Amino acid sequence: MICVKTRHFSLHRILLLAIGLWPCQRSRLAQFQLILCFGILISFIICQLTIIVTAEFTLELAINVLSIGLFFTMLAIMYNSFGFNFAEMVKRPLEELQQICNGLKDEKEIAIMKKYGDNLKRHTFTITLFYICSQIIILSIISLPFISRIFALHINESQSHILYKCMPKYLVDQENYLYLIVLYVDTSIFIGGTAMVATGLMLIAYLKHACGMFRIASYRIKKAINMQNNVPPKNEIAMYKGIIYAVDIHRTAMKFCTFLFSYLHLSHFFLIVVGVVCLSLNLYAISEIVLHGGDIDQFLLHFLIVIIIFIYLFFANYAGQELTDHNNDIFFAVYSVQWYAAPLHIQRLILFLLQRGSKAVNLNLGGVSILSLQFFATLTKASISYFTVMYSTQQ
């Protein structure tokens, strides 16, 4: 028996617990943590946007504010998609996965699911380790120049300049409340970054398990059709059952993916729209710094945002492409077996499988977009096109 929560989702649980999104332990303290974390993200976005009101308006100011504000808006959307649909988005899919794993009796089928889960765990550990190292570096760059003041160490103004590029201009004395502001900025970055990594890894984990279900469906089809040599009545019944079991787990995987994205399609549609606009603005900000000169810390800030958005969009679309490919493997499995040597009524069943397998499984977001590598390329082209339009209008 496979215990999904402890074997495949142990790291996901730690990340979600850190920001109050783990649904299996929903105490009052966890609910308070959820509201507090989401409130910090929203307040950070609002404070960023107040810069346009409190400062003298310029195009450069608007680009800098919106490029950072929209990025944190993306993080808030990710947090909200899980935070207020926690029972539907995390708990119920976990329970369904556990029921599916409990229903596996064949040793090879259990080995297939374990293989996908173990691969997922290794990838999750690698991404989590990379994220932790990145957070330590980012928070150190922001915080250490100010912490060094406690020990009366000498720093120049350029060393502390990076914080003023990523924090809002509060309506309070920044010098007197500097360390509280540093703590607030660091907390916002930690919550937002953890929300992006935790929710993204959770979605990838669900899609990986769905890929495992499709692989089991392919295995069951091959196993059923391979019983056709000297087909006695007993083996013919076993072929029927094998095909029925293959269709059943295929339908289960389809329903699992449809249920998952029924709660995500709207929020992730807005996430993609905001991400494309944010990506274009940051590309424009980078071009302005490169062509007209600017601070290296500001360049690194915008460059880091661009890299993060590209990585997130790529992995999300790659997971969708992988799910589509695994569904297509079922079609190829049906087509490649010796179906022509099976009894006529078995061939009719296989014909229905071939007809169903010719239809691709697509993960729709908002009814207008499909997660795939082609869609990733489309988003990249759209972002570069918008950036080109903005750059050409300013020349």
302, 304, 307: which is closest to 287 by C-alpha?
Answer: 302
If one compares 193 and 2, the residue with the highest pLDDT of the two is 193
Tens of pLDDT, residues 209-265: 999 998 998 888 888 777 655 556 566 777 778 788 888 888 888 888 888 777 777
Instruction: Give the per-residue pLDDT at 336.
Output: 73
Q: Kindly report the number of other CB atoms within 10 A of residue 355's CB atom.
A: 10
Structure tokens at 154: 């000498």
If one compares 255 and 54, the residue with the highest pLDDT of the two is 255
Q: What is the mean pLDDT of the chain?
A: 79
User: Rounded to whole angstroms, how far apart are CA atoms 238 and 273?
Assistant: 50
What's the mean pLDDT in 173-186?
74
In single-letter form, the type of residue at position 268 comes to: H
Tens of pLDDT, residues 298-313: 788 888 889 999 998 8
Structure tokens at 148: 């060094």
User: Rounded to whole angstroms, how far apart are CA atoms 93 and 67?
Assistant: 34
- Residues with Cβ within 8 Å of residue 155, at least 6 apart in sequence: 145, 148, 149
Domain assignments of the chain as residue spans, ordered by start: 4-393
Residue 83 buriedness (CB in 10 A; 0-12 / 13-18 / 19+): buried
Instruction: Give the per-residue pLDDT at 185.
Output: 84
Name the band, by pLDDT with cuts 50, 70 and 90, for residue 33.
Answer: confident
Instruction: Give the per-residue pLDDT at 156.
Output: 47
What's the mean pLDDT in 167-188?
69
Backbone angles phi, psi at 42, to 5 degrees: -65, -45
What beta strand segments (E) does the chain contain? Answer: 364-365, 369-370
- Residues with Cβ within 8 Å of residue 97, at least 6 apart in sequence: 4, 206, 209, 256
Structure tokens at 172: 């309070």
273, 274, 269, 279: which is closest to 310 by C-alpha?
Answer: 279
Out of 102-106, 160-164, 276-280, 375-379, which region has the weakest mean confidence (pLDDT)?
160-164
- Residues with Cβ within 8 Å of residue 388, at least 6 apart in sequence: none
User: Rounded to whole angstroms, how far apart are CA atoms 360 and 246?
Assistant: 17
Specify the DSSP element, H or E, that contains 323: helix 296-336
Predicted TM-score of the model (pTM): 0.84
The alpha carbon of residue 347 and the mean position of all alpha carbons in its chain are separated, in whole angstroms, by: 41
The CB-based long-range contact list for 139-143 (8 Å cut-off, 24+ gap) reads 139/186, 139/189, 139/190, 142/166, 142/182, 142/185, 142/186, 142/189, 143/182, 143/186
Instruction: Give the per-residue pLDDT at 158.
Output: 44
Structure tokens at 366: 């908002």
User: Rounded to whole angstroms, how far apart are CA atoms 392 and 183?
Assistant: 39
User: Rounded to whole angstroms, how far apart are CA atoms 391 and 71?
Assistant: 20
User: Rounded to whole angstroms, how far apart are CA atoms 381 and 283?
Assistant: 13
pLDDT at 384 over 70: yes
User: Rounded to whole angstroms, how far apart are CA atoms 244 and 37?
Assistant: 47
Question: Which letter does DSSP use for residue 172 in this model?
Answer: S
Instruction: Give the per-residue pLDDT at 365.
Output: 63
Instruction: Give the per-residue pLDDT at 280.
Output: 93
In single-letter form, the type of residue at position 276 comes to: V
Bridge partners of 365?
A: 369
Structure tokens at 174: 């920044």
Instruction: Give the per-residue pLDDT at 73.
Output: 93
375, 360, 370, 89: which is closest to 214 by C-alpha?
Answer: 360
Structure tokens at 153: 């160490």
Question: Which letter does DSSP use for residue 160 in this model?
Answer: T
Instruction: Give the per-residue pLDDT at 220.
Output: 85
For helices 178-225 and 10-18, give the axis angle rounded to 10 degrees. 150
- Residues with Cβ within 8 Å of residue 368, at least 6 apart in sequence: 269
